[in-house]
Amino acid sequence: MIDRVKEKINELLSEGSVKGVVALVTANGHVAPCLFQKGDDLDTLCLGDTEKSGDARYPLNRVLCTIARQYPDDVFGVLVRGCDERGLYGLYRLNQLEPDKVVPIGIPCPESLAQACECKKPYPDDIVAGEKFEGISQQGVEDMDNKDLSTRFSFWMDQFSKCVKCYGCRNICPMCFCRECSLECEDLVSKGDLPVDIPVFHLTRAMHMADRCIDCGLCEEACPSDIPLRLLYKKTAEIMNTEFGFTSGINKNEKSPLSLMGPAPEK
């Protein structure tokens, strides 16, 4: 699969249809986000798999946004999995990237990663190489829903109380780009205090991610306290889907229910 990806990137770069490609590189024994440009050695390119598949994924769309902000007129390629592609659709909708300035290079996730993520759509619409594996049902959310209210409440309060307020969930998030963040608004979250205001901190973030979260799971991987953030956002996404028929990034030109006025749209 990786050879076909390299071939594709080489094609894009040498024909000059993109200025650079945001992907991953193995260097110094570590995996890092990288911008490949014309003439760069693609041998070191990698797909973010080390010991397990997808265990060294990075927020490439976030990197792309950083570069595109500085070079708005150039076209860039970006390596995308299913979640990253949902992210791109979301970032187009939120005016952070322009669709005609982005060339996605899509790869599907293998079964093991799809299972571990309980991913609804572990493949992008446009696949450059690899076999796609079908979506997985949200067992984690269902298991949690089957517990009674007080069990769930104490579970989440215990989890939230572990928070060390590193803001890692926000910082790593490819869908977080606000210049002013509610999590730094002193009316909601007091400055300097630990433990963090619970559950306000985590629920504020969950609310803000309701129409953005693309279920990439990078927040949970970045959490030093192992708070099951992904489960929380999966539940939020489920509510968005049940109430408004909306799933973040699943369709290219979808509008967010949070940007509509009036009655709920047809499901």
Partner 1 sequence: MDYRNTLTTCTYCGCGCNFFLESLDGKLTGTIPCKTSPVNEGKLCIKGWNVHQFVQSERRLKQPLLRKNGELTEVSWEEALAFTASKLKEIKEANGSDAIGFFASAKVTNEENYLMQKFARAAIGTNNVDHCARL
Judged by the rule CB under 8 A, the positions of this chain that interact with partner 1 are: 19-20, 27-35, 37, 50, 55-58, 63, 66-67, 70-71, 74, 164-168, 171-172, 221-224
Neighbours of 79 (CB within 10 A): 29
Q: Give the β-pairing of 102-106 and 76-80.
A: parallel
Residue whose CB is less far from partner 1, 165 or 235: 165
Q: Check if the beta carbon of residue 78 is closer than 8 Å to that of residue 22.
A: yes
Q: Give the shortest CB-9-to-partner 1 separation in angstroms.
A: 15
Distance CA 113, CA 85 (A): 16
Q: Give the shortest CB-226-to-partner 1 separation in angstroms.
A: 9
Residue whose CB is less far from partner 1, 169 or 240: 169
Residue 159, token pair as written in the block: 């989890």
What are the start-end ranges of the H helices in 96-182? Answer: 111-117, 139-145, 149-160, 168-172
Distance CA 174, CA 54 (A): 16
Q: Give the shortest CB-66-to-partner 1 separation in angstroms.
A: 5
Q: Give the shortest CB-181-to-partner 1 separation in angstroms.
A: 13
Q: Sign of dihedral through CA atoms 215, 258, 62, 200?
A: negative
Q: What is the DSSP letter of 51?
A: S
Residue 79, token pair as written in the block: 């390596």
Q: Give the shortest CB-180-to-partner 1 separation in angstroms.
A: 16
